Amino acid sequence: MGSSSTRKETVWLTGASSGLGLSCARAFVKAGFNVAAGARSFAASEGVTDETGYHIPLDVTKDESVRSFTEKALALYGPPDILVLCAGILVLGPYEVYTMDEIHRVMDTDFYGMVRSVQAALPLMREKGSGKIICFSSVNGLLGIPYQGAYTSAKHAVEGFCESLSMEVRPFGVQVTLIEPGDHRSGSSAYRAHAARAAESAAYHPSFENVTAVIRRDEENGSDPERLGEKVVRLSRRKRMPLRKRIASPDQHLAVFLHRILPGRLFSSVIASYYRTYRK
């Protein structure tokens, strides 16, 4: 980011209407960036500029919508210096009873949606010989937890995608960073659906209820989303961004460490016990 005498840098940001995307959008605007802010719900406020930037409707699951967002953002601010990809949804449920449609929906938003967004912006960054791509993964991109299976699968895909991508684009001056947040007090319940057949599957009760209660409690007591937004802005200003940046509580850092060193079966027992998975 340059001084006030230089051109204002431009951020394109997906999932800007809620949660961590909203906090990031606010933090970038506050720091003086142009922000082209995308979300589906911005169809109702298209063209409005507020504390989150300039609203452009965007559905990352639709090629046409990503194309239209790209054209509008490009016409408005020129090519992006920074692409921040926060759009995401979660469907909670036992893997046995997810419908394929539910799994597709999560993959299409959290993973394919990210790939679509990168494919739209990357040629512009490559042409100008610079760019920073910041992709929201999760601690769940590194380890699995029960009943977040579709989300965990999508976030693991995001991790692999970004790791490959970072090597491909570095010669063009484009950097890629994975943000791996732990629980933050931000996510809207609107994006945390229960699988349609979760309630009917008696075999998984009360386990499913126990686990979702712990997930809810941890999110409610999670870290401050505004601080995460500020950290992402600071990170984006670094000359060399790291490939991974975990923004999580000490417990969640410990979980990632244990995942690395413990035998898989033992680690799963620790996690299952934390989430009261087997408790009646």
Ligand X SMILES: NC(=O)c1ccc[n+]([C@@H]2O[C@H](COP(=O)([O-])OP(=O)(O)OC[C@H]3O[C@@H](n4cnc5c(N)ncnc54)[C@H](OP(=O)(O)O)[C@@H]3O)[C@@H](O)[C@H]2O)c1
Which residues are designated catalytic? Answer: 151
Nearer to ligand X, 193 or 269 (CB): 193
Site string for ligand X, 93-132 (x = CB under 6 A): ----------------x---x-------------------
| CB-CB contact of 57 with 75 (8 Å) | no
Nearer to ligand X, 114 or 174 (CB): 114
| CB-CB contact of 1 with 33 (8 Å) | yes
Query: In angstroms, rounded to a whole number, what is the distance separating the alpha carbons of residues 165 and 178?
Result: 11
149 lies in the site for ligand X, by CB under 6 A: no
For the CB of residue 67, give the shortest distance to ligand X in the complex, in Å.
13
Nearer to ligand X, 72 or 184 (CB): 184
Strands of the 53-57 sheet, one edge to the other:
49-50, 53-57, 34-39, 10-14, 82-85, 131-136, 174-181, 244-247
Looking at 34, 52, 61, 212, which residue binds ligand X (CB under 6 A)?
61
Looking at 11, 12, 13, 17, which residue binds ligand X (CB under 6 A)?
17
Q: Applying CB under 6 A, what is the total number of residues that bind ligand X?
A: 32
| CB-CB contact of 258 with 270 (8 Å) | yes
Beta strands 49-50 and 82-85 are unpaired
Only one of the segments 33-41, 202-210, 235-243, 268-276 lies at the binding site for ligand X (rule: CB under 6 A); that segment is 33-41
Looking at 21, 93, 94, 149, which residue binds ligand X (CB under 6 A)?
21
92: Cα separation from own chain's centroid: 17
Q: What is the dihedral sign for C-alpha 221, 227, 233, 238? A: negative
183-212 residues in contact with ligand X (CB under 6 A) are 183-184, 186-188, 191
For the CB of residue 245, give the shortest distance to ligand X in the complex, in Å.
12
For the CB of residue 113, give the shortest distance to ligand X in the complex, in Å.
6
Query: In angstroms, rounded to a whole number, what is the distance separating the alpha carbons of residues 101 and 86?
Result: 22
With the CA atoms of 101, 105, 107 and 108 taken in that order, what torsion angle do they form, in degrees rounded to the nearest 10?
120
Site string for ligand X, 227-266 (x = CB under 6 A): ----------------------------------------
Query: In angstroms, rounded to a whole number, what is the distance separating the alpha carbons of residues 135 and 114?
Result: 8
Q: Using CB under 6 A as the criterion, which residues of the chain lie in contact with ligand X when the complex forms?
A: 14-21, 39-41, 58-61, 86-89, 109, 113, 136, 138, 181, 183-184, 186-188, 191, 219, 222
